[in-house]
């Protein structure tokens, strides 16, 4: 059995780790958190130069043609660094949507530019508070134009184009929209994690082109989200591990009652539980990575498993990191809140934890009934 990443894949992860440790320390995250820039453009350019935006894009579209296992390694390190760039929106969502549903012309138009970082893409799905039903979008497509409001759209203010889920002639469909079109009104939204931008996009008869089959949008989006769920899960375990490391470092060096607080069982057991959640999530992520890279029929179950597990692990590690830091963890000055903010962003950006739990059980029940 070889249920492990290869030495080359681990080497790539190690390189990504060193690169991001150098280019994206938490001070970089803080700069975006506290400043007015929606993302770190210099870091984005560096990441593009590393070729990561081109990773899984086939060579015929100017990509590197790497596998998903390689992208998972990059994702884990992106998660660990909390990089304030629209990588997940452009790479896990928009690129995947084009790879899965685009026709040759669309792929030729978008993929080389996505690979080269000349275009940033995102997916616009949600429509306000509460879970968005994939059969009832209020944004509609008629006569080649979109009308209606999407909120929130992650990186909606940054992205050059969006894959928009909307109600078309034959039901839910996906559309490609150039976000520079003058008919779109954009509003940057206040968000709990300002290191990743969120926007309200209002389409007013905005030109759009169908991506994939008319009426096949719900299924197409589900596939995009399944692929993305695995990649997001790797970001989550990377970030969760960083939070656990931070908690450990602090506890080891903070003394109370004459000894390191890391020697108290109340602290040790809390950190052991963080580790356990992380290891379970990691093993499920490996399962997701295997299914994604082989396109196995188990992917829907594997993706949901990885997602649910990693969401739990990251929340647990992020909140307990604050707890272990005590009052210091509640200060703006310490970095603990970065992980806490990001945990909620990553948990909800593909649909909530309860939505994914529901998907998971539906899929498991369906697979056991067969």
Partner 1 sequence: MDFNDTPEEAAFRAEVRTFLDSVATRKSDPQDSWDKNLKNEAEAIEIAKAWQRTLHDNGWACLHWPKEYGGRAATQIERVIWDQEEGQYLVPKGFFMIGLGMAGPTIMTYGNDEQKARHLPTLASSEKVWCQLFSEPVAGSDLAGIRTKSEKDGDDWIINGQKIWTSGAHYSDWGILVTRSDPTVAKHKGMTYFMVDMKSPGVEVRPIKQITGGSGFNEVFFTDVRIPDSQRLGEVGDGWNVALATLMNERVAVGERKGGDVLELIELAKNVNINGKPAIEDGAVRAKLAKWYTEFSGLKFTRFRSISAMSRGEVPGPENSIGKLVGAAKSQDMAEFAMMLMDRAGMINDKEIAPFSGMFQQTFMQSPSGRIAGGTDEILRNVVAERVLGLPQEPRSDKGMPYNEIPTGTIK
State the residues that interact with partner 1 by CB under 8 A.
1-6, 69, 248, 251-252, 259-260, 262-265, 267-269, 271-273, 275-276, 279-284, 286-287, 289-290, 293, 305, 308-309, 312, 354, 356-358, 360-361, 364-365, 368
User: Cβ closer to partner 1: 81 or 309?
Assistant: 309
Question: Least distance to partner 1 from the beta carbon of 235, Å?
Answer: 17
Measured from the CB atom, the residue of 137 and 287 that comes closer to partner 1 is: 287
CB of 269 to partner 1, least distance (A): 4
Compute the least distance from the CB of residue 271 to partner 1, in Å: 6
Euclidean distance between CA atoms 185 and 204, whole angstroms:
8
The Cα–Cα gap between 189 and 343 comes to 18
CA distance 213 to 144: 14
CA 134 to chain centre: 20
Minimum Å gap between C-beta 262 and partner 1 is 4
Element (H, E) at 99: helix 96-101
Give CA separation, 165 vs 145, 186, 205, 278, in Å: 13, 17, 15, 33
Answer whether 145's CB lies under 8 Å from 168's CB. no
For partner 1, which is the closer residue by CB, 339 or 356? 356
Looking at the Cβ atoms of 180 and 265, the one nearer to partner 1 is 265
Cα(67)–Cα(323) distance, integer angstroms: 39
Q: Which of 68, 51, 46 lies closest to 232 in space, CA to CA? A: 68
CA separation for the pair 294, 26 (Å, rounded):
35
From the centroid of its chain, how far is CA 164?
17
Q: Measured from the CB of residue 270, what is the shortest distance to partner 1 in angstroms?
A: 9
- Tokens found for residue 72: 């998972």
Nearer Cβ to partner 1 (312/341): 312
The contacts of residue 297 (CB under 8 Å, 6+ apart) are: none
Q: Shortest approach of partner 1 to residue 205 CB, angstroms?
A: 39
Query: Which is nearer to partner 1, 143 or 258 (by Cβ)?
Result: 258
Report, in Å, the least distance between residue 360 CB and partner 1.
Answer: 5
Cβ closest to partner 1, residue 200 vs residue 248: 248
């Amino acid at each position: 059995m070889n249920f492990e990443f290869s030495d080359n894949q681990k080497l790539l992860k190690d390189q990504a780790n060193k690169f991001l440790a150098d280019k994206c320390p938490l001070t970089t995250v803080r700069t975006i958190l506290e400043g007015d820039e929606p993302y770190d453009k210099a870091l984005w350019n560096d990441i593009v130069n590393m070729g990561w935006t081109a990773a899984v894009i086939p060579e015929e579209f100017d990509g590197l043609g790497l596998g998903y296992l390689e992208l998972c390694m990059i994702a884990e390190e992106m998660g660990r660094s909390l990089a304030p760039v629209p990588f997940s929106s452009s790479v896990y969502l928009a690129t995947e949507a084009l790879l899965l549903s685009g026709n040759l012309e669309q792929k030729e138009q978008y993929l080389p530019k996505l690979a080269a970082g000349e275009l940033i893409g995102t997916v616009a799905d949600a429509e306000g508070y509460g879970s968005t039903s994939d059969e009832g979008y209020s944004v509609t497509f008629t006569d080649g134009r979109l009308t209606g409001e999407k909120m929130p759209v992650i990186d909606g203010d940054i992205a050059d184009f969006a894959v928009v889920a909307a109600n078309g002639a034959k039901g839910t469909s996906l559309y490609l929209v150039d976000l520079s079109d003058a008919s779109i009104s954009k509003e940057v939204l206040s968000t709990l994690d300002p290191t990743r931008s969120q926007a309200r996009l209002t389409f007013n008869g905005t030109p759009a082109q169908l991506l994939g089959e008319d009426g096949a949008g719900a299924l197409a989006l589900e596939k995009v989200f399944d692929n993305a769920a695995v990649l997001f899960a790797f970001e989550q375990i990377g970030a969760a591990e960083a939070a656990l490391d931070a908690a450990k470092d602090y506890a080891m060096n903070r003394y109370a009652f004459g000894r390191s607080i890391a020697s108290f069982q109340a602290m040790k057991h809390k950190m052991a539980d963080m580790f356990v959640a992380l290891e379970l999530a990691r093993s499920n992520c490996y399962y997701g990575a295997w299914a994604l890279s082989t396109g196995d029929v188990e992917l829907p179950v594997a993706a949901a498993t990885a997602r649910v597990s990693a969401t739990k692990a990251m929340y647990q590690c992020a909140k307990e990191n604050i707890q272990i830091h005590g009052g210091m963890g509640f200060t703006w000055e310490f970095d603990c809140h970065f992980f806490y903010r990001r945990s909620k962003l990553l948990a909800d950006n593909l649909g909530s934890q309860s939505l994914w739990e529901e998907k998971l059980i539906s899929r498991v029940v369906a697979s056991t009934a067969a």
